[in-house]
Amino acid sequence: MDALLLPLIVACPLLAAGVLFLSAGRMPPLPSCVIGAGSVGLSALMAVVLAIGFLQTPPPTGALHATLWSWMQVEGFSARIAFMLDPLSLVMMLVVTGVGFLILLYACGYMHDDPDIARFFGCMTLFVAAMLVLVFSSDLLSLYIGWEGVGICSYLLIGFWHTDTANVTAARKAFIVTRIGDAAMLCGLLLLATRAGTLDVASVLQTVTTRPADLQAAIAAFLLLGGAVAKSAQVPLQTWLPDAMAGPTPVSALIHAATMVTAGVYLIARLHPLFASIPVAMTAVALIGLITLLLAAGSALVQTDIKRILAYSTMSQIGYMFLALGTGAWQAAIFHLVTHAFFKALLFMAAGAIILRVHHRQDIYQMGGLAHAMPGVFAAFLAGSAALAGLPLLTAGFYSKEMILQGAWHADPMLWAGALLGAFATAIYIFRCVFIVFFGPRHTEPHGRTGAIMAIPLVCLAVLALTGGWMEMPDAIAPVHLLSNLLSPLFGAPMPEGPHWLLWAGSLVPLAGIGVAWMLWQPRTGTRTPPENALARLARAGWDFDTLYDVLIVRPFTTLGQLNQTDICDRLSDATAATARAGGRVFGRMQSGQVRRYAGWIAAGTVVALCLGVRP
């Protein structure tokens, strides 16, 4: 029965997507919401039942398998469509279905008056199905199908409001940048297939552990890292994520906060023996994470669009996960993945509620004084902000970030110092947003109220953002290690905890950041206008990575194309086309419609044929 639930959990949103797409957009809002949110809710219910059964009676092999069919089998290679539930995929399953259901429920209220609501829920449920295929797959080739599935759904949802050219441009940019990583990942998978003769995860990892790492394995690891970097919006392929905020807010909450951008983290964690066997790859993962978390935090400090602040925050927090992976703190990375899904989805959804009530304005400097006008939304946003900042003892973000800091300390104190600086900047930029949006003079008068169907998910996620960290705590606070115990069969024992002063440092730095934010942006004496200097403009533009790529890649490519317009290949094709046109004109003149001329041509042809026939 448990093995049957695995494909059923995927089938529910997949069938819902089929029904919604087949309606060709003619399905009314209520049935669209019921089918969309209901299918994911049913998957979440089955996921809870499956998780309870898995935890109560673990499979003898440590994983539950369900083989659907054999995809291909040739000499030296085989691939299957098969699902696997182990501790890692169990955690991801609960995050994708549980948080996904709350976001789709919220979307029922947010998108209720959109004429294309059926198409919206079709894309959202298809995304959930693709993400579940990604996390369940026990074969890397079928994992790649889910990987590409979430990519195409992301493209469709970012450009959902396609009548706006900016949205289409953002969707195309996300598609192209992530395709770069996808191509690298495919090459890495092909190298692994030639090395192991299969892409079955267990067989690939067994080959890694039994054969010493060589150049081929190292190249494969770096190619897979390229795929993870693009999908998770890490430096240097991070430029697509801020522009992806062009999509509806529920899209940002689901795809670009809670699920898709964590696919790269999941991939590295799933193949952790491969990366652990190549120290230079581990160092690269850690450095990419550290650089991304600092650069993204710096950009978030000066953004004025509330959704772009949260977008850069997502990049920064994924950077923390990469840092944890690169230091071998596997449990810490997955722990932060879970808590980040709670508080970042909450922040995006609260931001969406604010945007709806302030006439779709997103500039934080056009808001202000909203704490009294929308106290419920303020409480939800404050809970998410406290969790993001890592407010000590009270929030889930504190416990997961503290676990990452402990792992960074054991790997290299310089990495720990950089991560601590990122935590300080995180507290500043998110509470800058809180103080400007909810306190001070009111610049826009809000209207309406947040309905219950949007409020219920906010309440649920606020509770999780505050209490979700209780599953894993430092021994100095409480010896609770539920998540580590669950993941230890896969990753081994977690890293030992460092000295107690590390815990104190990790607790005081977020408080110091909140204090700095209060001094700079408090309602009465703080600065209420965005900074305008060269450094602020550079950070607001995402450190001008787009300009750099335009100069180094786009312009040389287009220039080369223009210079190469008349090369030999073009001339051959032009000559072929000219010959065809000339021949067409000649034969066109022969078709005059005059019977006498046709008879003459027949007679002439007959004479020529007779001459050839009687020639000696």
pLDDT at 77: 79
Closest CA to 52 of 21, 85, 79, 76: 85
- Helix locations, 327-451, DSSP H: 330-357, 375-389, 396-411, 413-438
pLDDT at 605: 79
CB 498 within 8 A of CB 504: no
Q: How confident is the model at residue 510 (pLDDT cuts 50, 70, 90)?
A: very high
- CA 137 to chain centroid, in Å, comes to 18
Residue 583 region by backbone torsions, left for phi larger than 0, else alpha for psi between -120 and 50, else beta = alpha
% of the chain exceeding 90 in pLDDT: 71
pLDDT at 525: 58
Closest CA to 124 of 254, 314, 263, 27: 254
Rounded distance between C-alpha atoms, residue 547 and residue 294, angstroms: 20
pLDDT digits (tens, 9 = 90+) for 338-380: 999 999 999 999 999 999 999 999 999 999 889 999 999 999 9
DSSP state of 116: T
Q: Domains of the chain: which residue ranges?
A: 335-530, 531-565, 567-614
pLDDT at 616: 58
pLDDT at 218: 95
Rounded distance between C-alpha atoms, residue 502 and residue 416, angstroms: 10
Residues 6+ apart with CB under 8 A from 282: 275, 276, 325, 326, 327, 328
Q: How confident is the model at residue 615 (pLDDT cuts 50, 70, 90)?
A: low
Block residue for tokens 């059926």: 118
Whole-model pTM: value is 0.91
Q: Which of 269-273, 406-410, 446-450 has the lowest mean pLDDT?
A: 446-450
DSSP 45-96: HHHHHHHHHHHHS--TTSSEEEEEEEEEEETTEEEEEEEEE-HHHHHHHHHH
Q: How confident is the model at residue 110 (pLDDT cuts 50, 70, 90)?
A: very high
For residue 27, the surrounding DSSP H or E stretch is none
Residue 373 sits at the vertex; the CA angle it makes with 461 and 243, to the nearest 5 degrees, is 55
Q: How confident is the model at residue 563 (pLDDT cuts 50, 70, 90)?
A: confident
Query: Residue 127 pLDDT more than 80?
Result: yes
Which two three-digit tokens encode residue 563? 């210079």
Rounded distance between C-alpha atoms, residue 68 and residue 81, angstroms: 6
Rounded distance between C-alpha atoms, residue 397 and residue 469, angstroms: 7
pLDDT at 614: 74
User: What average pLDDT does this structure show over 186-195?
Assistant: 93
Query: Residue 401 pLDDT more than 80?
Result: yes
pLDDT at 1: 56
Residue 559 sits at the vertex; the CA angle it makes with 556 and 565, to the nearest 5 degrees, is 140
pLDDT digits (tens, 9 = 90+) for 570-609: 777 778 888 888 888 877 776 767 777 777 778 887 888 8
Rounded distance between C-alpha atoms, residue 28 and residue 546, angstroms: 41
For residue 311, the surrounding DSSP H or E stretch is helix 306-326
**282 vs 61, higher pLDDT:** 282
Residue 442 sits at the vertex; the CA angle it makes with 439 and 444, to the nearest 5 degrees, is 130
Query: Residue 490 pLDDT more than 70?
Result: yes
Q: How confident is the model at residue 444 (pLDDT cuts 50, 70, 90)?
A: confident
Rounded distance between C-alpha atoms, residue 531 and residue 301, angstroms: 10
pLDDT at 565: 67
CB 350 within 8 A of CB 276: no
Q: Which of 4-18, 310-324, 532-546 has the lowest mean pLDDT?
A: 532-546
pLDDT digits (tens, 9 = 90+) for 548-562: 888 888 888 888 877
